[in-house]
Chains A and B, each alone.
Chain A
Amino acid sequence: METGELAASHITIPLPITPGFLWVIFLLAAVGFGFVSWMFVHHWNYYGISGNNRVFVKGVFFVTSITLFVLMVLFISAYAIVS
């Protein structure tokens, strides 16, 4: 009786997200990132943000972003293997 009540209160949400769908999201993110980073680099270079600040933010932005892209590829691959 008690187990039955617990089972009845447990909710399962179907989420049919395929690896293909994740690749589409990844590609859209990559295109968006390419555009935004081009805009940032244009602003930093054209409007003359001073050398040290520019190098610092460029480094943080690109290293963090590229790391995250690599992680996303690994996660999609792992997700595809399991499914």
Chain B
Amino acid sequence: MFEVRKHWFILATETFWGLAASLAPAVLYAVVSVLPISLNTPGNPIVLFLFFYALWLLGVTTVMTYFWTDYFLDVWIVTNRRIIDVEQKGLFNREIATMQLSKMQDVTTEVNGLLATMVGFGNVHVQTAGNEREFTIYGVKDPDKTREMLEEALLQYGAVSIK
């Protein structure tokens, strides 16, 4: 039995954008402070800005935590009988699909782009027999190795899963 997960680089990219977003209000403030604009507020405008900055950071923290949760909840679990595809779609939608190893027909991998090639991640598609849905997992670490492991599992356990 083994698990197939997204590459850590996917999470790192999302984290990078989160960090960039957390700095955005500070950059905006620096730009606006140069302009000939002043705010007429009942209190100190800098304190008001800091309040909204803290609120913004709370939102960024929540979104980054969501990315992290989504990263860990999207997984393929390959057992000696089947593939279990667990996909978290937002906080309120979760999809779990299973496929018998014996129904696995084609395993396709694709690595798109410079970053994916250099870092070593890509997509894995598993085509099933009949009209059943195709299984796809995006941004997997070392997709070719994953394909080999899936084909090995099919050779080793494909007959078992028919029982």
Contact = CB atoms under 8 A, between A and B. Distances in A.
A31 interface: no
Contacts of A3: none
Given A13-B40, A43-B91, A82-B43, A76 B62 contact: no
Contact of A44 (B41, B57, B69): B69
B36 interface: yes
A19 B42 CA distance: 9
B55 A61 contact: no
A22 B72 CA distance: 36
Contact of B44 (A12, A29, A64, A79): A79
Interface stretch (B46-54, B104-112, B135-143, B145-153): B46-54
A6 B38 CA distance: 13
Contacts of B58: 29, 33, 65, 68-69, 72
A76 B51 contact: yes
B73 A82 contact: no
B98 interface: no
Given A15-B39, A36-B62, A75-B50, A29 B55 contact: yes
Interface in B38-94: 38-45, 47-48, 50-51, 54-55, 57-58, 61-62, 65-66, 68-69, 72-73, 88, 91, 94
Interface of B: 36-45, 47-48, 50-51, 54-55, 57-58, 61-62, 65-66, 68-69, 72-73, 88, 91, 94
Interface of A: 6, 9-19, 22, 25, 29, 33, 36, 39-40, 43-44, 47, 49, 53, 57, 60-61, 64-65, 68-69, 71-72, 75-76, 78-80, 82-83
